[in-house]
């Protein structure tokens, strides 16, 4: 597991907010129910995200949580770093050796090195909007009727 449970649940909650067309605030219970996250845990996550300026909260009727920034300005790395700190895999050996370096390479060193570089670049550039758009596209594809799906495959 690359991300802690806190980072994973926070990502799910924020993707939920990013997928909403109207930027109206959403109650914690609605996010928790939709994403199957325990409410008390989600409340703590959202509080941390509010302190980082990633979400904003509104009290009273019509209140709740919403993104504080446009979804294309929130990077996945911002969210992960809120809970896990900077994710640096450069010193971690995939086979569990004490050191990960070219001079003391393990059997998977070159592949792991490439993975780390791609991972670091991806997480640093990937935004909530991109993730939410991908999920929407996939969910629309699933909603096709079986007959339409078969027709689309034949084309």
Q: In this structure, what CATH number is given to the domain that contains residue 35?
A: 1.10.10.10
User: Do residues 83 and 47 make contact, with C-beta atoms less than 8 angstroms apart?
Assistant: no
Of the candidates 9, 5, 32, 21, the one whose C-alpha atom is nearest the C-alpha of residue 136 is 21
- Tens-digit pLDDT profile for residues 44-76: 999 999 999 999 999 988 889 999 999 999 999
Q: Please tell me the distance from the alpha carbon of residue 33 to that of residue 16, in angstroms, as a whole number.
A: 11
- Total count of domains within the chain: 1
- Tens-digit pLDDT profile for residues 4-23: 999 999 999 999 999 987 77
Residue 41 lies in a domain: yes
Over the chain, what is the mean pLDDT? 86
Give the domain range for residue 17: 5-143
Q: How confident is the model at residue 151 (pLDDT cuts 50, 70, 90)?
A: low
Q: List the beta strands (DSSP E) in the chain.
A: 55-58, 64-67
User: Do residues 56 and 68 make contact, with C-beta atoms less than 8 angstroms apart?
Assistant: yes
The residue written with tokens 């199957």 in the block is 36
Residue 138 lies in a domain: yes
- Per-residue model confidence (pLDDT) at position 103: 82
pTM passes above 0.85: no
């Amino acid at each position: 597991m690359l991300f802690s449970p806190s980072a994973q649940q926070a990502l799910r909650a924020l993707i939920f907010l990013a997928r909403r067309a109207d930027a109206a605030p959403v109650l914690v219970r609605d996010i928790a129910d939709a994403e199957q996250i325990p409410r008390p845990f989600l409340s703590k996550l959202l509080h941390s995200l509010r302190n980082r300026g990633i979400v904003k909260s509104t009290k009273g009727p019509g209140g709740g949580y919403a993104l504080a920034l446009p979804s294309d300005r929130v990077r996945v790395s911002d969210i992960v770093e809120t809970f896990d700190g900077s994710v640096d895999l450069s010193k971690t050996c995939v086979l569990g050796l004490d050191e990960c370096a070219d001079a003391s390479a393990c059997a998977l060193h070159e592949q792991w090195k490439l993975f780390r570089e791609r991972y670091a670049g991806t997480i640093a550039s990937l935004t909530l909007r991109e993730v939410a758009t991908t999920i929407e596209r996939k969910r629309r594809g699933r909603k096709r009727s079986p007959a339409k799906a078969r027709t689309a495959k034949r084309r």
